[in-house]
Amino acid sequence: MTLTVAVAGASGYAGGEVLRLLLGHPDVKIGALTAHSSAGTPIGQVHPQLVPLRDRVLEPTTVDALAGHDVVVLALPHGASADIAAHLPADVLVLDCGADHRLIDPKAWQAFYDGEHAGNWPYGLPELVTPDGPQRQQLVGARRIAVPGCNATAVTLAAAPGVASGVVQADDIVAVLACAPSGAGKTLKTHLLASELMGSASPYGVGGTHRHIPEIEQNLRLAAGSDAVAVSFTPTLVPMSRGILATVTARVAPGATAESVRAAWAEAYADEPFVHLLPSGQWPQTSATLGANAALISVDVDERAERVVAIAALDNLAKGTAGAAIQSANIALGLAETSGLPIAGVAP
């Protein structure tokens, strides 16, 4: 079975990464490639790395251009996906890489985003630990999937096993991230210029203002089976093109030990093909996940501070976005979950 896949927003970083991974997928034929301001341009001019597609011309993003495909990936800015998705047939698998369909609570959406809440779709983080088992089972047969935010993926994968097992106190979680600027997309912004970034690290979204916070809290509430979740989240831009390193700490729950803490993460990810708990004493590096649909995680206990320290590294464009979309599509369509997805990173 060969599936046709259209990619809207193909000129952006996320769209380009989706295409890079799809080129290695054995069950896929790449269909329409659409864009907004880059429409009419050969894709080789905006993504020179996509050599097999370099002569394909980007079309305007319209429902007609996306029609007739088995799968449509919407790699569009927030607020742009809902209207297009509403006009696509119900039997087409639509993957929204934006935020339009991630949040369950309309009030949370309105507090962090502009416009009306478009409703929520099944959430495309298969490894999310919940009291009822991994989120994966919610994706089987789905035809609408909300792809997670990259920061939310990193923090969730780092923290959810501890929250779900009760070995940490979910009402005292602190997450500090080192983030690559590619997570902000290709839009020209002064603080993302090389002259501003090189040799510098700068925080953003400080004081509980980052848009991924309600998504992280939603995930961890699902993991905990409780609303008693509080997250302090601070991301920092660092001068690397791709990658996230998330350091997440939480107070140790009464009665938990270093052994029971590590066992919680080991059990949660024992059978996961893309999430790997590193040996004790080994710490994740973003370079080890470059280009891979993989998250590397370490966990330890700071006995003096009585806090669990969980660290996750992933590629924000791969496991953080495009890889998550393809992994979720594989599950939804009954394909091998690992099809077309590299696990090994590119290093040095």
**pLDDT tens digit sequence for 242-271:** 999 999 999 999 999 999 999 999 999 999
For 158, left (φ over 0), alpha (ψ -120 to 50), or beta? Answer: alpha
The pLDDT tens digits for 32-41 are 999 999 999 9
Where exactly are the structural domains of the chain?
Answer: 3-147+319-333, 151-316
Total H helices, total E strands in the chain: 10, 13
- Average pLDDT along the chain: 95
Please, are residues 304 and 252 in contact by the beta-carbon 8 Å criterion? Answer: no
- List of residues 6+ apart from 190 with CB closer than 8 A: 196
pLDDT at 188 over 70: no
The pLDDT tens digits for 194-229 are 778 788 899 998 998 899 999 999 999 999 999 999
DSSP-derived secondary structure for 12-48: SHHHHHHHHHHTT-TTEEEEEEEESTTTTSBHHHH-T
Tell me if residue 295 falls in helix, strand or coil: strand
The verdict on whether 97 is a catalytic residue reads no
Please, are residues 37 and 63 in contact by the beta-carbon 8 Å criterion? Answer: no
Q: Provide mean pLDDT across the span 103-114.
A: 92
The residue annotated as part of the active site, out of 76, 95, 150, 335, is: 150
Q: Provide mean pLDDT across the span 269-291.
A: 97
Q: Which CATH number fits domain 151-316: 3.30.210.10, 3.40.50.300, 3.40.390.30, 3.30.360.10?
A: 3.30.360.10
Q: Which CATH number fits domain 3-147+319-333: 3.40.630.40, 3.40.50.720, 3.40.140.10, 3.10.450.50?
A: 3.40.50.720
